[in-house]
Chains A and B, each alone.
Chain A
Amino acid sequence: MIQPETIAAFLAAFPAAVHSEFRGQTRVVVPVGSLIEALTFLKNKRKFDLLVDVTAVDYLNYRDADHRYGLVYLLAAVDTSERITVRTFVDDPTPTVPSVVPLWEGANWMEREVWDMFGIRFEGHPDLRRILLPEEFTAHPLRKDYPLQGRGERHNFPVLHRAEG
């Protein structure tokens, strides 16, 4: 659900954005360079004050994919119940996007999870550490080249015996 004037205003401000609709959902794809401007515009000018989620998709084996990773920002407006999905793409070897923590405090843990699972760096994030996996974990398991059963981390997990502890 989104008002037509909202999306018209957005496209007027960001002519490079690609707009699409699917099952009543409005998505826009913006270049990574104008991501922060686009999100700031939506937050301050169009009242999308709630960041619902930040997530990523690894398009390694995806048909017709031009880029490796897609970042997904789900926004909602509390007052008008509008929703919009903003996407951007980044590539190897060092996928990096600017952090949106300055805009929404709630992005802190969401971005940490994306870093943990996909290895996408968020520039300007105040505390970019792993969150769900231990610090010494080396891989980013939600990438498509990571096997479902892991790479033996479970087998090689160091066991601490009582005598050593």
Chain B
Amino acid sequence: MATQETTLHPADADDRPQQQDYVWTLNFGPQHPATHTTLRLVLLLDGERVLDAVPDIGYLHSGFEKIGEHLDYNQYVTVTDRMNYISPMANNVAWHESVERLLGIELTPRCKYIRTIIAELARISDHLLCNGAVGLDTGAFTYFLYAFYQREVLYDIFETLCGARFTNSYTRTGGVMYDMTPLVVEKIRTFLKTFPKTLDDMDRLLNRNRIFVDRTRGVGILTREEAINRSASGPIARASGVARDLRKDEPYLAYADFDFKVCCAQSGDCYARYLVRMAEMRESLKIVAQALENLPSGPVNVDIGERTALPTKNQVYKTIEGTISHFELVMSNRGFEVPHEESYAAIESPNGELGFYLAGDGTHAAYRARCRPPSYIHFSLFPALIRGHTLSDVVAVLGSLNIIAAELDR
């Protein structure tokens, strides 16, 4: 793989490909159906072969980290929804994982299980979209519809759980917004029963499809050394043979209780990334099934006496402790007891390691809320992956990296 540096304005450009007159420049995006979201690539082409790709990002930059310094720890969860909007539940879990690390809050067992379940459902939803879109871009439209139908089922589950389909904002400091009702459990159980059949269908549709395999196998190869050197994480690193999964390596929430495998591949091409995501969906199903079977009873939120979780509306309206606790937490001059400290916590989000580096300064809002966005880090791999391939491979590589521009630019 070429490790040569990508520059728009190189100092001595005499031997650069731009200077050769058969090379032409193609502007790919920011508005293009195959980029899926608003991102732009400047491609240098020799015929159909890509000599170089220069990503130009920032079209969706909306200052999320700056906003994080002004919204309080519960308000900011609505902003995290809008980062990777394909799996907002996972972002919510990541944000509050970091906040609770900083504040030193220990969750109830039921809350840990519920968060694990929704994070895994979010993973399935994310992988369905990513693989569906790779299929769509390489010409498999039917496959995309199979994937999208199941995402619809997941949206229904999330809607039953918290009332919102797309931007869930489900977690709260020290707990979640609503407890899981029997209806939600029933819907998830139905999903667990019906989804494997769709997954089998999807496997049969694409895994040995000649067109798909030809367009993805051997394309965009990321070696193990490069994956580590360029900070790749999640399914992209695992497809290159980096056996790193935070769910196993640093078990957070309730992952230590479950039996599941870390899915890896060796070849590191688009096809391997596709297969890793397919396999991870099956592992996620196993985790959700085990978590539902063993879902602990008891309270879902941290006790209101500890002044860390918002009390329920019932408690606020009917008990004096609830009213006091609510006011203590929502008034901007009171709020949580935040240490003058900095901490980092990350989860294995569907896309890779999603973490937040928080600096607390004792006030209601974080002093610094840095998001470690996997899409941003993975997009910087793109020029190295696409060099030497053809123009039609651009969409396959882009799809298999699962770049979500809202998370890329924040």
Interface residues of A (CB under 8 A from B): 1, 22-23, 25, 27, 49-53, 55, 57-58, 61-64, 72, 74, 78, 81, 83, 85, 104-110, 113, 117, 126-127, 129, 131-134, 141-142, 146, 148
Contact = CB atoms under 8 A, between A and B. Distances in A.
Nearest to B63: A141
Interface residues of B, number: 51
B70 interface: yes
Given A50-B231, A52-B372, A108 B380 contact: yes
B409 interface: yes
Interface of B: 3, 5-8, 57-58, 61, 63, 65-67, 69-70, 101-102, 104, 226, 228-233, 242-244, 249-250, 340-344, 346, 353, 355, 357, 359, 361-362, 367-368, 370, 372, 376-377, 379-380, 409-410
A132 B361 CA distance: 27
B57 A57 contact: no
Contacts of A62: 340, 359, 361, 367
A73 B379 CA distance: 20
A134 B58 contact: yes
A118 to B, nearest CB: 11
B241 to A, nearest CB: 10
A78 B367 contact: no
B355 A52 contact: yes
Q: Which 9 A-B pairs have the closest CB atoms?
A: A106-B231, A81-B249, A132-B58, A109-B380, A106-B230, A132-B61, A53-B372, A55-B370, A126-B5
Contacts of A57: 342, 359, 367-368, 370
Contacts of A104: 229-231
Contacts of B250: 1, 81, 83
Contacts of A25: 343-344
B243 to A, nearest CB: 8
Nearest to B67: A148
A141 B232 CA distance: 27
B174 to A, nearest CB: 16
12 contacts: A1-B250, A52-B355, A57-B342, A72-B370, A74-B372, A81-B244, A85-B344, A105-B226, A106-B377, A126-B7, A141-B66, A148-B69
Nearest to A50: B228
A61 B301 CA distance: 34
Contacts of B7: 126-127
A149 B6 CA distance: 33
Contacts of A81: 244, 249-250
A74 B57 contact: no
A152 B39 CA distance: 25
A49 B343 contact: no
Contacts of B67: 148
A9 B3 CA distance: 33
Contact of B357 (A50, A55, A141, A148): A55
B137 to A, nearest CB: 24
